[in-house]
Amino acid sequence: MPSFDFFTAAARRAACAIALALASLAVPQAAQSEPTEPSSAGRQTPVAEFLGRYCAECHSAGSAEGDRQFDSFRLPLTSVDQLITADEIVDQVTLKLMPPEDAGQPTEEKRLELLDVLRKTIESSRERFNTSGGQTVLRRLSNREYENTLATLFDRRVDTLGLTADFPKDNTVAHMDNLGDALVTSGFLLDQYLQSASRLVEARLGKTRMEPKTWHFRDNFQQYEELSGAHRSVFNYEYLCLYEQPNTDTRQGGYGHIEDFLKGVPVAGLYDIEVHAQAMHRDTHYDPKIFRIDFSEPFQLAVVPGDVTKGHIHYPQAIEPVLGQAIVPDEQPEWLKFRVWLEAGQTPRFIFPNGPYESRASVIEVNKQYKDEFDPKKYKAGVSRTHILREGELPHIRIGEIKVHGPISEPQGGKEEVAVFGPDGFQVERAVEQLHAFGRRAYRRPLEPSDRGRIRAFYQQRLDEDATPRQAALDTLKMILCSPSFLYLSEITAENETLLGPFDLAARLSYALWAAPPDDVLFAAAESGRLTAPEELKKHVIRMLEDDRSDAFVNGFTDSWLNLREIGNLPPPRKSVPQYYSENLPESMKREARQFFRYLLDQNRPVSEFLDADYTFVDKKLAKLYGLPQQDTLRLADGFQRVSLVGNQQRGGVLGMAGVLTVSANGVDTSPVTRGVWVMENILGITPPPPPDEVPSIDADVSGATTIREKLSKHSEDKTCFVCHRNIDPLGYALETYDPIGRWRTNYPSPKGKGSAATIDASGELPSGESFEDFASFKKVLHKSRGELFVRNLIEKLATYATGRQMEHADRFRIDDLAARLHSDDASGLRTMVVEVLTSELFRSR
């Protein structure tokens, strides 16, 4: 039996060691030189003259708009703060955002003269500020990386255990979930790590051996609440029926369980599940609109785990990954087979992924519209099902028999046994050697003598306390999985080294692209020392991008850059947009962006296609949402397909994707300000300042305004509002032709009882003078006038994600070098950009 009580005590001691180890680790800070007093000659430069004439009135100590004070700005640049100010001036003047259009304007000659002086000054100060560049903060694994790492080390999916279900949610900075300064560690989280390690090791390696067994269920298929009476009356519980998709509001028939198997499987393992099932009444004559599904699609049956100790068995539970899925036949019942992994105590549950949305509402509507078809003596209005099941044609999946067989015997004791102890399994005489080998993989580096001593001592301590050799080894595995060397991407590169050593570089690369530890090939390259050579590093970057495991990079980066992780946090009302729920649109929305990114990456397509493209990737659900002709030809089984947008003025690029348009709205209505800020931050890399406390809300003094544009116009009449809104609002106006879930529209919703719907005006003018009439022309203006800004922002986002730290101002020179190299080589492909970032000095530096 596992010595859990001992491990808990031992783990507490380990937790104290972790805390002490973390407290001793200093976070490197960028050095900043103190500003020096400029000479009097510096006051007569073109910069001082320009700022004094065109900027000082608004940006001085007395009235500093946007918290910027230019009256004290002097050359040469002697501090990071001055460098930041210089950069801001260059950006504002280059884009003609400043001086504002209602102020006096410099001549083009004066503008160019200022920019020339500032750019040369910034470049000349490069060496000074390069030496104060930031370093990556010691960071722990994010929850996402933690689960991926354990799945890699144990060579088995771990999502069925829900190891991070009770962990605190990871903090994000700029939507990124893997930045060291945001990934804090608390005492509660340490306790969760201890419990998680124990659960995983005991569930996978400490389980009791059991001979395979078969369970066969033919009856007593009880279903709860309002389904129970009808099923007893009509079927006598001989059938298990699914009437709706899972996770609806009413939860009636979304989960089918086995009443006689509530205790679940006795041990964790692979199990064969056979289900005798049939799709009933897919050809129903009832109005399809009642059920909100596409009856041209075959019904689907899927298996998810359930645990009666974790919540109601026919309600959604926290841990229910889809374990298997199949098409259900129409004509007659057939045996459908699944091989799934179940944890001890889990029981299989069956779901209807493309089933009707909310069975209760469907039954009520059938009773209303088709009451004349039923025997009036038996007919009952409302949610009564008995007469419909006897006489009607209610669409559902019907299951008559279920077989469960397992646990299935696996070669060499199972994948976990091989992954942890090697092909020969646990060997008492080699136990310490095997534990050292696992520690090397878990720590992602060769073990130090202190590591080896700690592992050996812990194993011996457990033996001295009368644990069996195997249990002692399992407890030692738990200790390894609670070590800071496992939980943290702590660097072993010497403090006096600027560039990462080979093992630290291998770990950084593998977590950037796979969100998991280095594989044997990458580890061998690090062990040989070759990995630090740029060409060798480039070879591995390309190899890893071509591996399916790089989907972790595609998913993680698009979730962060485009903030797709937040889709669903502000969902629309169920009654107003039922298809958002009934067709699981959030998942399709994310997949479109990921497929698009993956295509640009694999084909090395120009990054400019993120701004505008004549194609995208859709499944049947998105094709319908977008009104594309493919909605009539695509099937659900086709998944995502590349479709042409030639001649389509409504889509193209990430700004036309429903995922982006949904996450930049609030689920109920849209705002040019919210979407404009999203474009500034995520596409252009500009963070607008927060509104001052004294700025009135948008509802102030907007009497007579009938559209959001008119409201914003009145709102911006306040000069404190105008400065920011002139930069933000035009970027959002272009996206007003999309509703809160990304559907195209030409009019705003009609206000109830308040007249006709207002026509949407998607035109605008950027502060630099470029104008556009609609979404299509806006993308062209964005590409032409802000294309370089977008490229630089994308490079910075990639560098931030890959290094696990925010880019500091001292990093700007390296980012500039990358942008210039990509531009000069005409190498604008996404793959080229990713490879350049991941082989750059910026990525390879501590």
Q: Which range (111-120, 457-466, 549-558, 651-660) has the least confidence?
A: 111-120
Q: Which two tokens stand for residue 665?
A: 């709205």
pTM: 0.85
pLDDT reported for residue 114:
73
Q: For the chain, what is the mean pLDDT?
A: 86
Integer CA distances (angstroms), 658 to 164, 741, 764, 796, in order: 29, 6, 22, 25
Q: Give me the residues paired with residue 771 across strands.
A: 765
Please, which residues have CB within 8 angstroms of residue 50's CB and are 6 or more apart in sequence? 106, 110, 113, 114
Residue 800's φ and ψ, nearest 5 degrees, are: -65, -50
Rounded to whole angstroms, the Cα distance separating 433 from 431 reads 5
**Own/partner long-range contacts of 98-104 (Cβ < 8 Å, ≥24 apart):** 98/54, 98/55, 99/54, 99/55, 100/722, 100/723, 100/726, 100/767, 101/726, 101/767, 103/54, 103/57, 103/58, 104/53, 104/54
Q: Which range (59-63, 311-315, 799-803) has the least confidence?
A: 59-63
Tell me which of 83 and 789 has the higher pLDDT. Answer: 789
Tell me which of 213 and 726 has the higher pLDDT. Answer: 213
Nearest residue to 566 via CA among 656, 687, 676, 678: 678
Nearest residue to 212 via CA among 26, 353, 339: 339
Residue labelled with tokens 């001295």? 464
Half-sphere exposure of residue 140: CA atoms within 13 angstroms, side-chain side: 23
Integer CA distances (angstroms), 599 to 231, 294, 551, 594, 617, in order: 49, 29, 12, 9, 9
Domain 213-408 adopts which CATH fold? Answer: Jelly Rolls (2.60.120)
Length of the chain: 846
Rounded to whole angstroms, the Cα distance separating 665 from 846 reads 38
Half-sphere exposure of residue 583: CA atoms within 13 angstroms, side-chain side: 20
pLDDT reported for residue 707:
66
pLDDT band at 511 (very low <50, low <70, confident <90, very high): very high
**Residue 543 region by backbone torsions, left for phi larger than 0, else alpha for psi between -120 and 50, else beta:** alpha
Helices 469-481 + 187-205 axis angle, to 10: 140
Q: Which range (65-74, 92-101, 365-374, 376-385) has the least confidence?
A: 65-74
Tell whether omega for the bond before 469 is within 30 degrees of 0, i.e. cis: no
- Residues 198, 7: contact at Cβ < 8 Å? yes
- Residues 616, 657: contact at Cβ < 8 Å? yes
pLDDT reported for residue 137:
64
**What does DSSP assign to residue 136?**
P
As a whole number, mean pLDDT of residues 489-499 equals: 89
Report the SS3 class of residue 621. Answer: helix
Residue 185's φ and ψ, nearest 5 degrees, are: -125, 130
- Residues 589, 658: contact at Cβ < 8 Å? yes
Report the SS3 class of residue 520. Answer: helix
Determine how many CB atoms are found less than 10 A away from the CB of residue 707. 14
- 679-691 burial, b at 16+ Cβ within 10 Å, e below that, comes to bbbbbbbbebeee
Nearest residue to 505 via CA among 17, 136, 54, 43: 136
Half-sphere exposure of residue 116: CA atoms within 13 angstroms, side-chain side: 8
Integer CA distances (angstroms), 89 to 92, 106, 719, in order: 5, 14, 21
Nearest residue to 778 via CA among 679, 703, 696: 679
Helices 80-94 + 108-124 axis angle, to 10: 150
Residue 25 has pLDDT above 90, yes or no: no
Nearest residue to 288 via CA among 357, 218, 380, 212: 357
What stretch of H or E contains 272? Answer: strand 269-280
pLDDT reported for residue 35:
35
pLDDT band at 105 (very low <50, low <70, confident <90, very high): confident
Rounded to whole angstroms, the Cα distance separating 597 from 567 reads 18
Nearest residue to 783 via CA among 710, 707, 683, 668: 683
End-to-end CA distance of the chain: 45
Residue 143's φ and ψ, nearest 5 degrees, are: -60, -40
Residue 157's φ and ψ, nearest 5 degrees, are: -60, 145
As a whole number, mean pLDDT of residues 443-451 equals: 96
Rounded to whole angstroms, the Cα distance separating 758 from 768 reads 29
Cα 527 from chain centroid (whole Å): 33
At 801, the amino acid letter reads Y
Rounded to whole angstroms, the Cα distance separating 475 from 654 reads 49
Q: Which range (118-127, 191-200, 255-264, 309-318) has the least confidence?
A: 118-127
Q: What is the pLDDT of residues 529-549, one digit of tens each?
A: 999 999 999 999 999 999 999
pLDDT band at 743 (very low <50, low <70, confident <90, very high): very high
Q: What is the pLDDT of residues 330-363, one digit of tens each?
A: 999 999 999 999 999 999 999 999 999 889 999 9
Cα 491 from chain centroid (whole Å): 26
Residue labelled with tokens 């998913």? 555
- 30-50 burial, b at 16+ Cβ within 10 Å, e below that, comes to eeeeeeeebeeeeeebebbeb
The share of the chain scoring above pLDDT 90, in percent, equals 67
- Residues 596, 654: contact at Cβ < 8 Å? yes
At 583, the amino acid letter reads E
- Residues 462, 3: contact at Cβ < 8 Å? yes
Nearest residue to 498 via CA among 846, 777, 238: 846
Burial of 637 (0-12, 13-18, 19+ CB in 10 A): exposed
Pairing of strands 300-306, 213-217: unpaired
Q: Which range (13-22, 93-102, 247-256, 689-698) has the least confidence?
A: 13-22
pLDDT reported for residue 61:
57
Residue 52 has pLDDT above 90, yes or no: no
As a whole number, mean pLDDT of residues 561-569 equals: 92
For the chain, which residues make up each domain, given as ranges?
40-130, 213-408, 564-780
- Residues 167, 192: contact at Cβ < 8 Å? yes
Q: Which range (124-128, 483-487, 568-572) has the least confidence?
A: 124-128
- Residues 265, 345: contact at Cβ < 8 Å? yes
- Residues 14, 482: contact at Cβ < 8 Å? yes
Q: Which range (234-243, 361-370, 692-701) has the least confidence?
A: 692-701
- Residues 683, 790: contact at Cβ < 8 Å? yes
Nearest residue to 622 via CA among 613, 610, 631, 632: 631
Tell me which of 39 and 302 has the higher pLDDT. Answer: 302
pLDDT reported for residue 117:
75
